[in-house]
Amino acid sequence: MHSLTIIIADDHPLFRGALRQAVNGLEETLEILEAGDFDAAHRTAAEKGEADLMLLDLAMPGVSGFSGLMALRSEFPHLPIVIVSATDDAVTVRRALELGASGFISKSAGIDEIRQAIRTVLSGDIATPPSFKGGYEPDPEVADVIARLRTLTPQQSRVLGMLAEGLLNKQIAYELGVSEATIKAHVSAILLKLNVDSRTQAVIQLGKINAATPA
């Protein structure tokens, strides 16, 4: 029987425990890895290249809204990522899917619903809350921002998320283990791709898609 490896990334230990309980029993042989912040989630995904699935909280220390999903999605394209969030309105679900999530689970879902969603994604389909009706982004401006954000490289997505957290170039350079000149180059590339003139405007663009997500 196939051994499953699932990464649970959420900053609340109690909820990680609830997800662990839901995941248990999916397979006879199961490896569950937990991460309490974005850095740990990123590190675990890098170390476990063969992981089958990541359950990712939208609101975690070290990342702003969808920027974590974008960075992980582009860096680990073969890792299905399911967003798990208390903010489960149609706008948030739709934007998560448009930015590459393989599914969306509401934090209010019961264990059976969580298990079913995970099985759906593992079988190659997209899992959404029962109340979600689909459709496309109704706001053309936001649709344009999403299209532009999808052109960012993994490191650019990460840098943009850190700009949104209020970090300075030298702080981002230290966190990512690169030179300040490298970060400046990333910021310039981000401004070009988002068609804005300043880092403040870039953060505002990111904020437009994060408007429906918790801080």
CATH for 58 = 3.40.50.2300
pLDDT for position 211: 61
Same domain, 81 and 175: no
pLDDT for position 213: 47
Same domain, 31 and 108: yes
Same domain, 13 and 85: yes
Residues 6 or more apart whose Cβ sits within 8 Å of residue 112: none
Condensed to tens digits (0 to 9), the pLDDT of residues 184-213 reads: 999 999 999 999 999 999 999 988 887 654
Grade residue 1 by pLDDT with cuts at 50, 70 and 90: very low
Condensed to tens digits (0 to 9), the pLDDT of residues 76-118 reads: 989 999 999 988 888 899 999 999 999 999 999 998 999 999 9
With tokens 């699932």, the residue in question is 6
Residues 6 or more apart whose Cβ sits within 8 Å of residue 22: 111, 114, 115, 118
pLDDT for position 214: 43
pLDDT for position 57: 92
Domain that holds residue 146: 140-210
Mean pLDDT of 49-54: 90
Q: Does some domain include residue 27?
A: yes
